[in-house]
A and B are shown apart, each in its own frame.
Chain A
Amino acid sequence: MSSETQRILTTDGIPLEVSLKKVERRNKFKAFLLVAPLLFFLLIVYISPIIGMLFNSVDDRMVTNALPKTFIAMEKWDGKELPSEEVFEAFYIDFQKLIEEEREGKLSTQLNYEKNGFKSIIKKLRRKSKSFEEGNYKEQIMAVHERWADVEYWRAIKRRAPSYSYSKYLKGVDMYQNQEGKFVQVEEDRRIYKKLWVRTLKIAFYVTLFCFLMAYPIAHLLATLPMKYSNLLMICVLLPFWTSLLVRTASWMILLQQQGVVNDFLVWIGLVADDERLVMMYNETGTYIAMTQILLPFMVLPLYSVMKTISPSLVRAGKSLGGTPFTTFWKVYFPLTIPGIGAGSLLVFILAIGYYITPELVGGASGTLISNMIAYHMKYTLDWSFASAMGLMLLAGVLAIYWVYNKLVGIDNIKLG
């Protein structure tokens, strides 16, 4: 039977199937070759550093390498009472080596992240340890400062023993691992990060909501007006879209300041007394107002492109079947715009959650977001591993939304301008 169903051959005598597969493979390869330069460029200079942040965020070798003997001696210590003389001696030897290499400053910074109060006692120990006598280091170290006799501080050192730790992630949600290995929250008055996450989500949510409420009517107007009017009005959306972010933030700073145009206007119409001008900048209000205006075009454009495709005859049909304008809108028009609402909202939310420039300039203390905290740790405290950990937590959230966006809208459907 098989000999009868002759295989179709090409002119070179190769079966067509094989030849076709070969061509297809070559085409695949060609297509991939075109994408390859950009893909590898991004993988090397962009994706791999982001993955590198993952290592940065858990890397704790600095302390491990600084106190090798101490940690070996600490292995036997149960962490209940003060450690034995052996541990103190090992610590003294490690510490002397650090002083020689002038690395004790770095250690004190690192230990201070773990527990406040290390900085000063390490400085003091450095000064006093020069005149230490041999033997009985426990007594001598404990005599330097009362905190050296506090078991809490030794537990803090022990917590930094492993080369890798996820403590930065715990710190990012105001938690830490106590000596029994349980996750506990930090004291009430020091819980700052959780508040910041909540605030970031809250501001991103409300900015998205405000953008939606404002964008919907104007997108509808733009989509239903005749072309010549809508093109003109579209400029109002596109000009801010193309204008520098800093220029737009600067204009809000001028508008919202206490002697600014908005306050002048409110005083002039008599809504606000001259000596009770509103404080709208350097607080949450400023962040809300400025971010809403800046992100509004990102909501209008996707909504507009969806509304443009909705045939007006659908609404007319709804009305002719006896629907009031309101029910036709709610039952016919609105459901058709949901893809646009989804696309715009997710886009605005993603952009808002990672915003940095505008909150930093107009947000003051109460209007800053998680991005500002990351920048602060990168620039001022230099706790880069903590900044990396916070950044990756934020990134995980954004990627989750990106994934949803991709499922719902498809990234191929992102439209620009």
Chain B
Amino acid sequence: MALPKYTEPHYRIWHYVYLFICGCVFFFLIAPLFVIFPLSFNAEEFLVITDGMKRLDPDAFSLRWYKDMVYGTKNPWGLAAKNSFFIAIFATIGAVILGTVAALGLSSRYMPYKGIIMATLISPMIVPLIISGVAIFFFMAKAGLAATHTGIIIAHIILGTPFVVITVTATLSGFDHSVTRAAASLGSNPVNTFMKITLPLILPGVISGALFAFVTSFDEVVIVLFLAGLDNTTIPVQMWTGLREQLSPTILSVATCLILLSTLVLVAAELLRRRSERIRGINR
């Protein structure tokens, strides 16, 4: 973005003002995440930056809240983490299978009523969560699935499928169908063709859809609040309760772990995107 030498002074000033504005916005986006790190190492019980921390006094920092997170008495985080992973993994598997198969159908040029069906399949992403929560709660209560893992997993499959449908249809949009026809002409049956030819090619899309579905389920709190009993508590529900009742620094330790987790997801998603672009580039 270097400016040419002949730029007039007032445009030059405007350019730096523009860069400054951009810097502020980036700061606004990313900085809030970083307050959590130092405070999670706080030795005190308060959620403020103490004088000791400002002086970088080593006594002001400690790992006590991380210890509390792992070993603390009457500690809900262990159960919550177990539930969260259990629910998210099964919800992801369900969403990926249903979503990928549906995306294959949707990308077929023979698909009838494509517009309205696509709109229906994407709707769980658009409908406000609170409404989905109310509707799913009524359904689960009638079906006797309230306060069960099964009920929550089904709810999260609903929320996760739109992401899988979107990412997989996007991958399939650059897909060269003559490859599958070639496989069929060489005597491969449809299932074999799918497993050996189609799936490896659309895999980046499928995995990035799976990441979305996993994160959606792992982070979802509104529907779990409606559906969960005491045994179904998840990490977001525990955070929600903690944030509403007393802000303890233990929450910040958990939050730090979650930020690290999302960094991993971000890196994975980014690598997948590039790989997908490369594979599709070859196809074209």
Contacts and interface: CB of A to CB of B under 8 A. Distances in A.
Interface of A: 24, 27-28, 30-39, 41-43, 45-50, 52-53, 56, 214-215, 217-218, 221, 224-225, 233, 235-240, 242-255, 257, 259-261, 264, 293, 296-297, 325, 350, 353-357, 360-361, 371, 374-375, 378, 384, 387-388, 391-392, 394-395, 398-399, 402, 406, 411-412, 414-417
B26 A218 contact: yes
B203 interface: no
B1 interface: yes
Interface string B1-39: 100000000010010001101100110111011011001
Contacts of B124: 42, 46
B130 A240 contact: no
Contact of A50 (B21, B131, B157, B166): B131
A24 B111 CA distance: 10
A78 B98 CA distance: 58
Interface in B96-128: 98-99, 101-102, 104-106, 108, 110-112, 115, 117-124, 126-128
Interface residues of B, number: 91
Contact of B102 (A35, A253, A255): A35
A217 B21 contact: yes
Given A411-B119, A414-B166, A240 B48 contact: no
Given A354-B129, A371-B130, A411 B236 contact: no
Interface string B21-63: 1100110111011011001000000111100000000000000
Contact of A38 (B115, B135, B161): B161
Contacts of B131: 50, 53, 354, 374, 391-392, 394-395
Contacts of B221: 245-246, 357
Contact of A248 (B26, B33, B110, B135): B33
Contact of A34 (B105, B112, B170): B105
A50 B36 CA distance: 39
> Main SS of the interface on chain B?
helix
Contact of A52 (B123, B135, B163, B222): B135
A261 B128 CA distance: 32
Contacts of B11: 325
10 contacts: A31-B111, A32-B105, A38-B99, A38-B161, A49-B136, A214-B25, A242-B262, A243-B259, A254-B39, A357-B222
B148 interface: no
Contacts of A233: 26
B126 A402 contact: yes
A220 to B, nearest CB: 8
Nearest to A296: B29
B201 interface: no
Contacts of A252: 32
B212 to A, nearest CB: 6
Contact of A354 (B22, B26, B130, B236): B130
